[in-house]
Amino acid sequence: MAWDTERTKGLLLEAATSEFCARGLAGARIDRIAAEAGVNKERIYQYFGNKNALFDAVIVAALSTLMDEVPIEGNGPEAMADYAGRLFDHHQTDATAPRLLFWEGLERGTDVVGLPKRMANCASKVNSTIAALPGISREDAGDLLITIVSLCDAAPVLPALDGLMAGGGPDRAERRRAAVVRTVYLAAAALAAEAKAPAATA
């Protein structure tokens, strides 16, 4: 049998993503990751170093690529609302990224890994936002993105909130989606309007 190092690495990273996503850094088990990947756990230490470094690799791989998977397209507040809707849908079908993001925030705090790549990705999103809402400040663009991420990513991580607050009817997900999209539209429209008439708040 031929050794396929890249395939083994990929299997481990995939299994680790699933395990860390479900249980976080402290709750994840190296043995479980190795078993799920069908690989001996010693390979983890050869390829990734240790549990923390494997978590790093998972975070960087999962969060960096997400930025490209759901792009900001079009112009005006509608474009930002549409982006929020697509991000919401994406997280609804695959909660990996939001869960990893919150695991990282809770377990790592401000100790963020893979900074250069992620800062570049965020800057790219900020620039897309500025392009969609001409005249908006860089800080307002960042704030709008934080708002979008907060709304879209919190939903799958706090699944109980829907039932607790809104009763959890059959079409809850759609209603929540509509609320997020509308909220983002309103916030983006206000920033766009302010950018055209800056005297109002100065």
CB of 151 to DNA, least distance (A): 33
Q: Which amino acid does the sequence have at 34?
A: A
* Ranges within 34-63 binding DNA (CB under 7 A): 39-43, 45-46, 50-52
Among 99, 128, 170, 181, binds its own copies (CB under 8 A): 99
* Least spacing, CB of residue 20 vs DNA, in Å: 11
Q: Give yes or no for residue 51 binding its own copies (CB under 8 A).
A: no
Q: How far is the C-alpha of 12 from the C-alpha of 165, rounded, in Å?
A: 39
Name the binder of 173 from DNA, its own copies, none, CB < 5-8 A by kind.
Answer: none
Cα–Cα dist 92/173, whole Å = 9
Residue 32 interacts with its own copies (CB under 8 A): yes or no: no
Nearer to its own copies (CB atom), residue 11 or residue 72: 72
Among 6, 93, 139, 202, binds its own copies (CB under 8 A): 139
As measured in angstroms, the least distance from the Cβ of 45 to DNA is: 4
Query: What is the Cα Rg of the chain in Å?
Result: 20
Q: Which stretch binds its own copies (CB under 8 A): 4-12, 33-41, 42-50, 178-186?
A: 178-186
